[in-house]
Amino acid sequence: ETKVTAVDQTFPVKKTTASRLQSVNFSDLRFGDVFSDHMFELIYENNSWQKGKIIPYGPVNIMPSANILHYGQGAFEGMKAFTMENGEINVFRIHDHYNRFNDSCKRLNIPSIPEETFTQAILQLVDLDREWVPSDKYKSLYLRPFVFATEEFLGLKTSTTYRFYIITGPVGNYYREGINPVKLTTMPDYVRAVKGGVGNAKVPGNYAASLYPAHVAMQQGYSQVLWLDAIERKYVEEVGAMNIFFVIDGKVSTSPLTGTILPGVTRRSVLELCKLWGLPAEERMISIDELFAAYREGRLTEAFGSGTAAVISPVGVIHHKGEVITLDTEKMGPVAERLYATITGIHHGTEEDPAGWCNII
Ligand code: COI
């Protein structure tokens, strides 16, 4: 039984005088190019987070010398809200996203934002722009909380001032392929993260560093890079825009969180659902050679990615040093399909919430 929470009107609101809602074509949504009418803004100065407010979506003024523009002291989250079958709105796993955001802030020496502030801001903003939450089962309102350092100083040091925003926008599928399988390639000359670095934090630099290898991969006809570990260049880690899962010998397997991989909230949901279903699932080091051997022996039956934006995205092709694994290139395999149906069902309230994942407003 899910509980509907009344949203506290904690923050002052300056409403837009010109809503853009009518100009949005909700039947043709891609990912990340449409933004809702309002955003949340919270400023850190004089050693503390000030009172937040909701204002119209619009430009943010910062000085050209701001830390974020040079040294990248910032962090972000990716979350989603859904229209449920009964018309209520579900914001998915806020607490887990907050915890990860807080961990990212810690790693970048950014002052922690209280959980209550984060949660109330999300709920009040989504509630205000609730007409922006698509009602279609395969669409959602993407939420992007982010924080960045604004101090005007070119010496390298921790900033004393920050801004935190939440922007939102209706989205469809993340990949151009829709829910059709994507093609991955390894890029053994490049690495995403090393242990002790920031690979397990959701920070801009990780994504910026992936862009050149991703560009090369795209020129070769692949849509994403499958990252290998930085030391041995042997173990599969993640895809950058999503975590990666394989079904080997009927067992669901994904790389362990050893510090170089983003601890995905959808990754966690997949592992928790497998446990609930009694489906064997494990977190273990998986070498690229093992994958190819399992493929040749017919034991590798599925590969799929998980992520907030990607949800469950099947992988049809994996290329590594001239060799290719070709799985189903037309559709999802049965395990991915079951996970996709269940997770989207939980999002939209047609499947039972297994463990307090839904925040209903
Ligand atoms: C998300 O899945 O929410 C992300 O932040 C990944 C990003 C590449 C869109």
Give ipTM to 2 decimals.
0.98
The SS3 call for residue 12 is: coil
Q: Measure the CA angle with vertex 145, ends 144 and 150; round to 5°.
A: 125
What is the predicted pLDDT for the residue at 60? 98
Where on the phi/psi map is residue 328: left (φ > 0), alpha (ψ -120 to 50), or beta? beta
What is the predicted pLDDT for the residue at 315? 96
Q: Which residue, judged by its Cα, is nearest atom 3 of ligand 1?
A: 78
Best of 143, 174, 270 for a ligand 1 pocket test (most atoms within 8 Å of beta carbon): 174
| 128-163 b/e (C-beta count within 10 Å ≥ 16 → b) | bbbebbbeeeebbbbbbbbbbbbbebeeeeebebbb
Extract the residue ranges of the chain whose pLDDT is less than 70.
1-2
What is the predicted pLDDT for the residue at 3? 72
What is the predicted pLDDT for the residue at 137? 85
What is the predicted pLDDT for the residue at 216? 97
349 vs 88: CA distance, rounded Å: 9
What is the predicted pLDDT for the residue at 22? 97
* Residue with token string 């899910």: 2
- Spell out which residues line ligand 1, taking CB within 6 angstroms: 78, 241, 307-310
253 vs 281: CA distance, rounded Å: 6
What is the residue type of 89? I
What is the predicted pLDDT for the residue at 2? 62
